[in-house]
Amino acid sequence: MNAAPPKDGRDTLAGRLTRTLILWVGGVWMLCVLAVVWYVDREINNNFDNELVEVSHRMFDMAVQEMGKLQHSGATPDAPVIAPKQLFSEDAVMYQVVDIHEHVLLRSAEAPTDAFDVPLAPGFANNQTWRIYTVRHPTLGLYFQVADPLDERRSALNRTLFGLIIPLGAVLPLLALVLRNVARNELRVLQQLAGEIEKRSGSDLRPIALPGLPRELRSVGDHVNSLLERLSHSLDVERALAANAAHELRTPLAAARLRLQTALEHDLRRNDVQAALDALRMLSHRTEKLLQLSRAESGASLARARVDLVQLAGAVAQEFWNDPQISERLALKVPDAVAPVASGDVDALAIALRNLVENALRYGGSGRVVIEVMAPCTLAVRDFGAGVSPEQLATLQQRHVRHSSDRTGYGLGLSIVSTIVEKHNARLELASPPPGAASGFEARIVLRPA
């Protein structure tokens, strides 16, 4: 069942990514703004403080001299001396010269009449209104205090930040718009990939084209293509099983039905019943072969393990030796040295070897049949019957090819063997007659060593 499409863009991946990017970028932007505020405030205060230090050291001696002149000119002894107004009132420097008892001896015209409410010690100090730098005269026991209004510093800071933050804030909507467009553009390939997957169906399992996909989505596309390939293979196996069943079972089913009908019409004569049983036996045999072929073609359950070929050949031979009619005809030949060990599925290889032995026993006449295990990793089954012609040898592995009335079923058994061999990346070699023999047929499965 298909999921219901979202009613708006809020539930889309692009919408979620846009919101996430805006939140994170906005958070980082806010941290950067706070860092700028801290840095600008620090730099402005440092500049003002440096000015206070420089001004105090330059003006201290001048202020002392000015105080001496003004006192000699008849100033009131107990009243502080007021320096003349400075030329630029907006840039006037406010200062006081005080003694060790915090009596104001000299002050600028713009400075308050009372001493600054800060400790009388060299260095910086703040009160509610002023930032004050105090320096002591090395010999006269006087202190020179230069004051700077804190409002002026705050005003300078506000002007600077206003000029920075207003443009930065103005670009936030533009930044959000850019992030949204970037998210939509970058996720468009994901929508294209989803569209291609949606187009696939049971009748269309073509691989998905992956041009221009980023690495992460290319990996997803590769996995989807691999899944489509396995699904297509499974459907092919299913179709092949249906076609093979229709082809292979039609004749034995018709024969069984005909024999049973004949038996009923002739009061169940023994020969007719036996013929019906033979037809049913053939039907069972071909059904088993079809299932073996379907399993071999699917390849889904094939394992990769170390297979002792001597043990495998001995187990298959033992199955046939249990039949007294076959035990005298079948021989097993194994190497004297170390047993060859192959990599493969022991059950599938046993099915392949069993099919070769059945074919040899069936089509090799009444002569001997030999199973031979050869180094480095080969299984061979040979008979010494009439063999096949070169033309028949070239088409033996083709399914449903009837070479003669006495060789029906050869193609299906060899198709099973051929498919199993192919799934093991091995090689099937056929020869008629076998090397060194005057007649007969030999099939070899050349496996890869473990």
Q: How does pLDDT run across 129-145, given as a tens digit for each residue?
A: 889 999 998 888 889 99
Residue 177: inside a domain, yes or no?
A: no
Domain boundary among 238, 267, 293: 293
Shared-domain flag, residues 374 and 309: yes
Shared-domain flag, residues 402 and 426: yes
* First CA to last CA distance, the chain: 47
Shared-domain flag, residues 158 and 225: no
Residue 189: inside a domain, yes or no?
A: no
Q: What is the pLDDT of residue 383?
A: 92
Domain containing 436 — which CATH number?
3.30.565.10
Q: What is the pLDDT of residue 237?
A: 74
Domain containing 54 — which CATH number?
3.30.450
Which pLDDT tens digit goes with each residue over 64-119? 887 777 766 655 556 677 776 766 566 667 888 888 888 888 888 888 888 888 88
Q: What is the pLDDT of residue 38?
A: 92
Shared-domain flag, residues 262 and 315: no
| DSSP labels, 145-198 | EEEEEHHHHHHHHHHHHHHHHHHHHHTHHHHHHHHHHHHHHHTHHHHHHHHHHH
Shared-domain flag, residues 157 and 282: no
Shared-domain flag, residues 251 and 315: no
Residue 170: inside a domain, yes or no?
A: no
Closest CA to 164 of 23, 41, 48, 49: 41
Interhelix angle for 172-186 vs 188-199, to 10°? Answer: 30
Q: Which residues of the chain have pLDDT under 50?
A: 1-7, 405, 407-410
Residue 414: inside a domain, yes or no?
A: yes
Which pLDDT tens digit goes with each residue over 31-50? 998 998 899 999 999 999 99
Residue 431: inside a domain, yes or no?
A: yes
Task: Give the predicted TM-score (pTM) of the model.
Answer: 0.50
Shared-domain flag, residues 217 and 344: no
Domain boundary among 163, 184, 201: 163
Shared-domain flag, residues 286 and 395: no
- Separation CA 108–CA 96 (nearest Å): 7
Residue 360: inside a domain, yes or no?
A: yes
Shared-domain flag, residues 36 and 103: yes
Shared-domain flag, residues 267 and 316: no
Domain boundary among 141, 163, 185: 163
Q: What is the pLDDT of residue 75?
A: 56
Query: Number of C-alpha atoms within 13 angstroms, CB side, residue 137?
Result: 18
Which residue range is the domain that position 319 belongs to?
Answer: 301-444
Residue 371: inside a domain, yes or no?
A: yes
Closest CA to 111 of 138, 92, 137, 131: 92
Residue 185: inside a domain, yes or no?
A: no
Q: What is the pLDDT of residue 410?
A: 45
Shared-domain flag, residues 344 and 423: yes
Domain count, the chain: 3
Q: What is the pLDDT of residue 2?
A: 44
Shared-domain flag, residues 289 and 307: no
